[in-house]
Amino acid sequence: MMKKLPSALWRQAARRTRRGRRALQRGFTLVEMLMVMAVIAVVTAMIAIAYNGSSSKGLAMVSDAQTLAQGFLRAKQDMGCYPNAPSVLWSGTLATAGNMVCGVDGTQVWDGPYVNALPTDAATGDVELPGVSAGVLATIASEATPATSLGVYYFIHVIDVPNDIVTAALLKCNGSKATTATFQQGSCRGTLGAGAGALGTFDYKIEETSS
């Protein structure tokens, strides 16, 4: 016949069981908290890396555009008008009439280089900006200004830019990510591509002229 434990022993055993359960529960809770904290840390790090990447690339694009813009301005001062091919900025033999906006040969007055030689796209002659993102290209462009303005905007036109880099560059240049900005409102403007992974454009104003 099984003997019953004294009531004092039963109570002691019950207390030990309850303490064990509470300790086990606390252990699981701590593990779960550590797991959640680890997940949060990983996600936060990923967001920070993505933001810093876009921010630094946006800054690089603005800097590259500024360098090109300054080079085009110096070339215009020497040759009387803008080159329409970026390679003219570092190669005087290319400053032929066909490579100048005004159609006048500039080889005899070219006094560059106006920027260091840069990689160019074989098909278009546009400048490649690998420091921004693979496939990003930049060149000079122009368009008529609004009727109340001088006449022509000349600007650095950058294409095939990831949307997050476009907005980061606008923030660096204009102090706002707004893509509704115009050259009348700031030095830069941008257009976002539609859809996931789409590519947009970024423009940096060189100057506004009467012709």
- Asked, for residue 39, whether it belongs to a domain, the answer is no
- Asked, for residue 65, whether it belongs to a domain, the answer is yes
Order of strands across the sheet that contains 188-191:
127-128, 137-144, 152-162, 199-209, 188-191
Domain count, the chain: 1
- Asked, for residue 17, whether it belongs to a domain, the answer is no
Q: What is the pLDDT of residue 49?
A: 40
- Asked, for residue 118, whether it belongs to a domain, the answer is yes
Range of the domain at 145: 53-210
List the chain pLDDT tens, one digit each, 211 residues: 555 545 665 566 556 666 655 555 555 676 666 666 656 555 544 544 444 589 999 999 999 999 999 999 999 999 999 999 999 999 999 999 999 999 999 999 999 999 999 999 999 999 999 999 999 999 999 999 886 667 899 999 999 999 999 999 999 999 999 999 899 889 999 999 998 778 999 999 999 988 7
- Asked, for residue 34, whether it belongs to a domain, the answer is no
- Asked, for residue 124, whether it belongs to a domain, the answer is yes
Q: CA separation (Å) from 188 to 20, 34, 73, 168, 178? A: 66, 46, 17, 12, 10
Q: How far is 211 from 204, CA to CA, in rounded Å?
A: 18
